[in-house]
Amino acid sequence: MSLAEKFRKIILANELGGDLNLALKFSDPDGVRSGKSGWSFGVCQFDLQNNSLAASCLRECGFTQDEIDGLIAQTMDPRPLEDKLRTAAATVARYDEVQLNGCIERAHYLLDRFSIRPVDDAALLAVADYDNQYGLSGVNKPGYLIGYLTGLKRSFIAHDVLDFKLNGTKYGREHPEDCTRRHNNVVKIAKEG
């Protein structure tokens, strides 16, 4: 199995619990309809509030700007709009591939840029998974995760990314079980094929 195939399987497990049928339904990432994240969709669970690809994808799927705005603000029921997602499944899949490939490319680029070496594919895939969930930054100076990994002054393992999530992110401190679940999926799938 290629690195890209493993990563797709990891994201499917981490974002949708392995149920591909959920990719063409809207979900609430923060679970409280706060509008903080907007509705999410796709294998990558495009977060409408925080991922610029999400709105572009919906426009290409035939959503109006009013529908997109309502989905971002979570002021409308998304269920009636899911038919549009299903009808444009190929478009959603194409945007998922762009996101998945982008996560791997950004992980490679930033690790190389700051001379950080992953011990194995699991370590690299953990960084790519972090990018899909939180977003990586650091073109000119390292972002939070990349700065943490640089500070280790050694090659890193997937568990180092988990340690950062648990101790360096609000989400990790509030939801350690989810971070650990995601980590376990990364390690398990990275070892396959």
- Give the tokens for residue 66: 């009013």
Confidence at residue 20, expressed as pLDDT on a 0 to 100 scale: 93
User: Of all residues in the chain, what percent carry a pLDDT higher than 70?
Assistant: 94
Other Cβ atoms less than 10 A from the Cβ of 65: the count is 10
CA distance 17 to 189: 13
8 A C-beta contact, residue 122 and residue 160:
no
pTM > 0.85: yes or no = yes
Give me the domain span that covers residue 106.
Answer: 3-190
CA distance 13 to 181: 10
Q: Average pLDDT of 124-151?
A: 90
CATH number for the domain spanning 170: value is: 1.10.530
pLDDT band at 34 (very low <50, low <70, confident <90, very high): very low
- Please determine, for residue 148, whether its predicted confidence score (pLDDT) is greater than 80: yes
Q: Average pLDDT of 51-71?
A: 93
- H/E element, 41: strand 40-41
CA distance 38 to 46: 9
Contacts made by residues 138-146, CB under 8 angstroms, sequence distance 24+: 138/110, 138/113, 138/114, 139/110, 139/113, 142/110, 142/114, 143/110, 144/168, 144/169, 146/110, 146/111, 146/114, 146/116
Query: What would the pLDDT profile of 83-117 be if each residue is shown by its tens digit?
Result: 999 999 999 999 999 999 999 999 999 999 999 99
Closest CA to 44 of 110, 106, 131, 137: 131
pLDDT band at 32 (very low <50, low <70, confident <90, very high): very low
Other Cβ atoms less than 10 A from the Cβ of 153: the count is 8
8 A C-beta contact, residue 48 and residue 38:
yes
Which span out of 28-37, 115-124, 129-138 was modeled with the highest average pLDDT?
A: 115-124
- Give the tokens for residue 68: 């997109």
Confidence at residue 15, expressed as pLDDT on a 0 to 100 scale: 94
- Please determine, for residue 48, whether its predicted confidence score (pLDDT) is greater than 80: yes
Q: How many domains does the chain have?
A: 1
